[in-house]
Structure 1
Amino acid sequence: MAQHHHHEHRGDDLKQAAQQQLTESGEQWTDMRAAVFDALATFTQPASAYDIAAKVSDARGKKVAANSVYRILDLFVGTNLARRVESANAYVANDHPGCLHDCIFLICDDCGKATHLDDDQLSGGVRKAAEGSGFKATRPVIEVRGQCGDCAD
C-alpha cells in the first residue's frame, strides 16, 4: 500500500498551519473563521454545521446561524483546512492543511469515529479509472463503512 507521509499538526500548531494555508490561498483569517476552525478542531468525530454553530454560539455568547458556518466550511474544504465526510454530511479538521492529497475515510457505524487513511495508490487508481472513462475527477470521495477495531472487539 502506498502511504502518503506528512506532518500532522495539533493544538495551536494546527491553528497556525490552518491560518497560514488560508492566507496563502488569498483568503482572510477573520475572527469568525478562526472561531469556526477552533470549534471544528475540538471535535473527535465528524461534526455537522449545526454542531459547530452551537459550539461557536456558546463561545461567542450569541447565536451563530448554521448557514454562515456552512459557507465557512465550504471555504475550508476548498482551501484544504477541512475534509467533508460525505455520507455523514459532517466535517473534520484537516490536521495537515498544507498537504494536498485524496482522503479515504474509514467510518465506524457503531461509534461514529472517522479515521483518515492515506493511500495514494488506491486514490490514484480511482483518478486513473475516472480519466480512462473521459472524466476529470476533481475530488474523489472514498468512504468505507463498518466497525472500527475498538467496536469490533
Structure 2
Amino acid sequence: MASAHKHHEHSGEGLIEEARSVLLAAGEQWTEMRADVFGALAQRERPASAYDLAESVSALRGKRVAPNSVYRILDLFVRTNLARRVESANAYLANSHPGCQHDCIFLICDVCGQAVHIDDDTLTGALVAAARQAGFADVRPVVELRGTCAACS
C-alpha cells in the first residue's frame, strides 16, 4: 500500500495567512501585489494561467497588471511552496498546505480541466531514487495523470 502524506489543509483566510507566514519565514516580503495575486489564485478551483490572474488582479486594482509581473510572483510562489505549477497546462494552483514540503501528483480532467493533487511519498520517492541512480541531482518529480474526473464520467 502506498504511503500517503499527511498534512493540514488550509482554505479561505486561513490559507492566505499561512501563505503570508511561509513567505515571510522564507525571507521574502508579503506585498500588496503578492497578496492580490495569491488571493486571486486561492479563489480559483481550477488551474489558472498568469494571464487569467493578471486579468483578475487588474479588475481588483482598477488598473492593468502585466502578465510578466504575475509570472515573476508565481515563480516566487512556486519556489516558496505557496503554489504548484501544472506543467502540461502552464497554469497554477494555490498550495493548500504551503508549510509542508513534498512532491504532488496531479490528476487532470480532460473534460472540465479540474486538477486534483494527491500525495504519495512512496511513489515520488521511488522516482527520485531512480533518477539519482541514473546520475541526476536536484530532482523534482512532476507527475501528471490525465483522464476523466468522477463528475464528468
| TM-score higher than 0.5 | yes
Q: Does 2:61 correspond to 1:60?
A: yes
Q: Distance in 2 between matches of 1:138 and 1:47?
A: 25
> Corresponding residue for 2:31?
30
TM-score for both structures, normalised by structure 2: 0.98
SS at 2:30's partner residue? Answer: coil
- Shift, 1:138, TM fit: 3.2
1:112-141 Cα deviation digits (max 9, x unpaired):
000010000000010000011010143210
Q: Does 2:14 correspond to 1:44?
A: no
* Residues 5-24 of structure 1: pairs in structure 2 closer than 5 A: 5-24=6-25
1:45-82 Cα deviation digits (max 9, x unpaired):
00000000000000000000000000000000000000
Task: In structure 1, give the amino acid aligned to 2:56.
Answer: K
Q: Distance in 2 between matches of 1:52 and 1:88?
A: 14
Unaligned runs of 5+ in 2: none
Matched residues, number: 152
1:83-109 Cα deviation digits (max 9, x unpaired):
000000000000000000000000000
Task: In structure 1, give the amino acid aligned to 2:62.
Answer: G
Q: 1:148 to 1:137 in 2, by over 3 A?
A: farther
SS at 2:9's partner residue? Answer: coil
TM-score for both structures, normalised by structure 1: 0.98
Task: In structure 1, give the amino acid aligned to 2:27.
Answer: G
* Residues 2-151 of structure 1: pairs in structure 2 closer than 5 A: 2-151=3-152
Q: Distance in 2 between matches of 1:76 and 1:9?
A: 16
TM-align CA RMSD: 0.6
| Alignment check: 8 A CA contact 1:49 1:69 kept | yes
Q: Distance in 2 between matches of 1:69 and 1:147?
A: 30
1:3-51 Cα deviation digits (max 9, x unpaired):
0010000101000000000000000000000000000001100000000
Task: In structure 2, give the amino acid aligned to 1:85.
Answer: V
Q: Distance in 1 between matches of 2:146 and 2:138?
A: 22
SS at 1:92's partner residue? Answer: strand
State the identity %: 63
Q: Distance in 2 between matches of 1:79 and 1:105?
A: 19
